[in-house]
Structure 1
Amino acid sequence: MKRLLVLVRHGQSADNEQDLFSGLRDPDLTARGVAEAHAAGQALRGLGLRFDRAFTSGLRRAQRTLGIILDEIGQPDLATVRDAALNERDYGELAGLNKTQARARFGTEQVRIWRKSYHETPPGGESLADTAARVWPFYEREIAPVVAAGGRALLVGHGNALRSMLMRLDGVDPTSIEEVNIGTAQFLIYAMAEDGGGLSRVEIAPTA
């Protein structure tokens, strides 16, 4: 398969480790996150995948994960686009709080709604819909043309930014997206049909 899109969430960050709302904060990877990134890269190498262009956010947890993956697949110098349009959702006043602190301050149900719903916005932050409003246009403008032209694109990003993409790619509705979670360093592979139709999620067997 030539026309592929691979989405990867960054490895565990220091904020993930402490169960903090991160958003636009810029923590580095933990030792576990580094190991997860290496494992993802090794898995992609085992699938025999190489790429024509890479994309990531303006935040170092995603950029570092991408760098590790590119080293693992033998493409450390791959042309890469880094853009704030792919940043994680802005959590506003929740950023830097751990989940327990946030629930104590705002209430358990309110925090659940802010975390999972599509339209609800935490104070001073973005809803998932707001995130989608910057991520999806970037995808259509910068990433989709690479795949449509016969290439392979690799995107290393953030949980909510990727969830917003899955709503279009997988046809997930605003209610069902509440139950969708992407684990740290988990990757998803999409292939474009030979007739140039839309992307569909696929499973590819390792070449080794």
Structure 2
Amino acid sequence: MAATSCLTSGIRTLTVTSRIVQEQGLSEYAKVSNLSVPFNRGSVNISHSLGAVSNTKGYTRKQLFVRASTNGHSNGASSEANGATASPPSTEAALILIRHGESLWNQKNLFTGCVDVPLSQRGVDEALEAGRRICDIPVDIIYTSALIRAQMTAMLAMTQHRKKKVPTVLHNESDRATEWSTIFSEETKEETIPVITAWELNERMYGELQGLNKKETADKYGDDQVKVWRRSYDIPPPNGESLAMCAERAVKYFSEQVEPQLAAGKNVLISAHGNSLRSIIMYLDKLTSQEVIELELSTGIPMLYVVKKGKFLRRGSPTGPSVQGVYALTRSLAAYRDQLDRAV
């Protein structure tokens, strides 16, 4: 009896100690990820925001995220017979934003806008690397623009995800399209991720600049004029869209279609474009019109937000599963990753 009491006391002490380590480690990490390393609003690319971090106060991932069996809690992720879990609880949801990889017209230095151009080989590689960075983060639904470069990026990225679910494009443009693309196996449905395409997430339309070489256009009209067309908030290029016009449609779609999914606890991936994603980030982070025009987004670099209690918390860029540390993950997302590890 005394031995049992002693053992019980020891387990309780271990549980309390683990929780303290866990909370202190996450608290210190939060200072690094949210305060010391904000994503850039200038010429420095966003891709290096968290790339140099390897540990939090010297704690390893196993020290920071104790197993569920230690204290009887799942750390926000449900257990299944095979050790894997579908997603964190509905109180927290992940939002991943990815600007498509380099396109063939990016490679040629041409204004692309809404012209539907595929990825270059470099863009394919960037999409695959983006997938490796997010392979441990749950994805329940995918939104892409109507343009092939964004769709290719999402599809290629998901080939790297450890859950190996198959992204399937939902076709609802007509009753026939919906009927013909119906999946009749419930088991198969469970192994798919719905993909919704929306023109509202397209790149801004560059009007009469589309297809023109950027350098030649600057030589013809002058650097200052081209900079106004490209970087002002509310001045469009000839017969094109301004960033303000792009933001109006992109943010409206996000708030009406994507936010309800996040509020329901669904984990969302959006694969889109520099200007449509800048518009959404402006909305999420409450940037001014001046701040958003200075914001640079690298191609193929995912950005992670966590939605908790109606608030969007920017976590930075996931660095990939091969490096030990917390990085951009919350406790629930790290528990999801650990359960994937145990399922192997």
Shorter-chain-normalised TM-score: which range?
A: over 0.9
Counterpart selection for 1:31 from 121, 137, 158: 121
CA contact (8 A) 2:263 2:310 kept: no
> What is the alpha-carbon distance in structure 1 between the residues aligned to residue 227 and residue 302 of structure 2?
25
**1:1-208 alignment, distance < 5 Å:** 2-45=92-135, 48-73=136-161, 74-77=164-167, 78-193=193-308, 196-203=309-316, 204-205=328-329, 207=337
> What is the alpha-carbon distance in structure 2 between the residues aligned to residue 50 and residue 159 of structure 1?
24
Name the SS of the counterpart of 2:233 in structure 1. Answer: coil
Number of aligned residue pairs: give it.
Answer: 204
Deviations 1:1-27 (A, max 9, x none): 541111000011001111111101111
Name the SS of the counterpart of 1:199 in structure 2. Answer: strand
Deviations 1:116-152 (A, max 9, x none): 1111110010000000111011101111111111110
CA contact (8 A) 2:94 2:138 kept: no
> What is the alpha-carbon distance in structure 1 between the residues aligned to residue 217 and residue 279 of structure 2?
23
CA contact (8 A) 1:116 1:177 kept: no
Aligned residues: percent identity? 36
Larger radius of gyration: 2
AA partner of residue 300 (structure 2): A
Instruction: Give 2:68's aligned residue.
Output: none
Q: Aligned-pair distance for 1:198?
A: 1.9
Q: Aligned-pair distance for 1:109?
A: 0.5
Q: Aligned-pair distance for 1:75?
A: 2.4
Structure 2: gaps of 5 or more residues: 1-87, 168-192, 317-327
Q: Aligned-pair distance for 1:76?
A: 2.0
> What is the alpha-carbon distance in structure 2 between the residues aligned to residue 8 and residue 86 of structure 1?
12
CA contact (8 A) 1:52 1:79 kept: yes
> What is the alpha-carbon distance in structure 1 between the residues aligned to residue 141 and residue 296 of structure 2?
26
> What is the alpha-carbon distance in structure 2 between the residues aligned to residue 111 and residue 29 of structure 1?
25
Q: TM-score, normalised by structure 2?
A: 0.57
Deviations 1:134-193 (A, max 9, x none): 101110111111111111010000001101111111121111222111111011111112
> What is the alpha-carbon distance in structure 2 between the residues aligned to residue 93 and residue 31 of structure 1?
27
Q: TM-score, normalised by structure 1?
A: 0.94
* More displaced stretch, 68-77 vs 151-160: 68-77
CA contact (8 A) 1:14 1:28 kept: yes
Instruction: Give 2:171's aligned residue.
Output: none
> What is the alpha-carbon distance in structure 2 between the residues aligned to residue 102 and residue 75 of structure 1?
44
Alignment RMSD: 1.4
AA partner of residue 142 (structure 2): A
Name the SS of the counterpart of 1:27 in structure 2. Answer: coil
Q: Aligned-pair distance for 1:98?
A: 1.7
